[in-house]
Structure 1
């Protein structure tokens, strides 16, 4: 299947589109949470933690950012964000495959225990459960998941 988007490294000029996409995606996934109220926190975290410390790959269609993945040098995947109108498409898998290319030995992540869609996605892509935890920011229960190269 030919994709209608391209994957490329993040550029500073992508910041606003990436932050907006984060807001849109998470608000769709968790409508009861006011993610707009978290924007100042997220913008600061994006700028001070993720951009300087992680490889960020974006999916772009013409001038629209459709998704992104962040993976740090330790193989921690902090964010895999896809536009809600692309949920269920090949986009998330292609972004995850790019993270695996950048971290070819292993990847770890935390996923909200009530995010069944994401948990199924990661399981289909070779991740296994490695325990339970609590997200230090949100206080929500999370599953620790890990992928290891064969």
Structure 2
């Protein structure tokens, strides 16, 4: 397998089609029982709103499709980590950790996020990155039970 070099850079509007496609593909793999193509209209609108108040960092790799290995979106004002997505074929190659480190630079005073309670892989990943469960909630869109997790420096 070739050496995988990942670079981080700020989001550009030209990244939108690849980022949206990656979001759909990644979530579809995580939850194959849900048709994420039916959620794309919602996510396009959410993405547009997200770009107004968040910083988005792109992870690129020449071995990832479209060179997009992942992205993270964080509100510098609130520290809310709304999205972190890693291409399925790039998982376990340090991309997620690099994106979390970038998020921690944006939310230097702390971060928080919501994660589905049944997403054990994500829960384990966030714990390894220093996040702790701080509460429980319900996803307003899907009704799924979620944990609120926080990271403090």
Give the conservation status (yes or no) of the 8 Å contact 2:4–2:61.
no
TM-score (norm 1): 0.95
Counterpart among 113, 118, 121 of residue 114 in structure 1:
118
Secondary structure class of the residue paired with 1:108? strand
Q: Is it true that 1:22 corresponds to 2:23 in the alignment? A: yes
Q: Distance in 2 between matches of 1:8 and 1:79?
A: 16
Other-structure match for 1:51: 51
Counterpart among 70, 75, 93 of residue 67 in structure 1:
70
How far has the Cα of 1:3 moved from its partner?
A: 5.5
Encode CA deviations 1:38-73: one digit per residue, 9 max, x unaligned. 1111111111x2111100000112451110000002
Other-structure match for 1:84: 88
Q: Distance in 1 between matches of 2:105 and 2:30?
A: 27
Secondary structure class of the residue paired with 2:21? helix
When the two chains are superposed, the root-mean-square deviation of aligned CA atoms in Å is: 1.1
Runs of 4+ in 1 over 4 A off after TM superposition: none
Q: Distance in 2 between matches of 1:8 and 1:133?
A: 32
Q: Distance in 2 between matches of 1:115 and 1:87?
A: 15
Task: Number of aligned residue pairs: give it.
Answer: 147
Other-structure match for 1:34: 35
Q: Distance in 1 between matches of 2:115 and 2:5?
A: 28
Q: Distance in 2 between matches of 1:143 and 1:38?
A: 22
Counterpart among 99, 105, 108 of residue 101 in structure 1:
105
Gaps of 5+ in 2: none
Secondary structure class of the residue paired with 2:113? strand
Q: Distance in 2 between matches of 1:3 and 1:144?
A: 32
TM-score (norm 2): 0.93
